[in-house]
Amino acid sequence: MYDTIVVGVALFSEGTTSRKLITQAAKLLNKGGRLILVHVTEPMPTFYAVSTPREAIERRRKEVAKVLDSLATAAKGAKVENDLRTGNPAHEILDSATDNKADLIMLASHNPDLRDYFIGSTASRVVRHAQCSVLISREHS
């Protein structure tokens, strides 16, 4: 059992995968433990960022936070915190785990294909560099 679990949350496929992962994570928490839901947005290219109104960026951030709050209901009463970050997903998930003193990182991963052997997936990068335990939930496609 764990006191702090960082859960990497992707917001595609209507959150189905993330909801399952959050449910699993809540079952692994010690009483009084906490889940940190981490969603990482890749940085916008500079040419796009300078032409995008700040209000649009902030509105999108609020939309993501609202979706994370909705997904948090899968934790069934566990203490849940949102951690929205911008940058490289693997690096940001690892930084969140360090910042929150996580005992466990949980991620979903697709079945690897040839491109993963050349560039590596987020999950494989997290596994290689994590300073705590990592649980990967394999998604079948």
pLDDT for 116 beyond 60: no
pLDDT for 139 beyond 60: yes
Residue 140 Rama label (left phi>0; alpha psi -120 to 50; beta): beta
Q: Are 91 and 59 in contact (CB under 8 A)?
A: no
Mean pLDDT of the 10-24 span? 82
pLDDT tens digits along 50-64: 888 889 888 988 999
> What values do phi and psi take at 137, rounded to 5?
-95, 115
pLDDT for 140 beyond 60: no
pLDDT for 141 beyond 70: no
13: which DSSP letter?
G
User: What fold, for 2-138?
Assistant: Rossmann fold (3.40.50)
Q: Are 30 and 1 in contact (CB under 8 A)?
A: yes
pLDDT for 113 beyond 80: no
At 126 the pLDDT is 95
Three-state DSSP at 116 gives: helix
Rounded-to-integer distance, Cα 83 and Cα 67, Å: 12
At 30 the pLDDT is 96
Q: Mean pLDDT lowest for which of 19-33, 60-74, 109-123?
A: 109-123
At 111 the pLDDT is 64
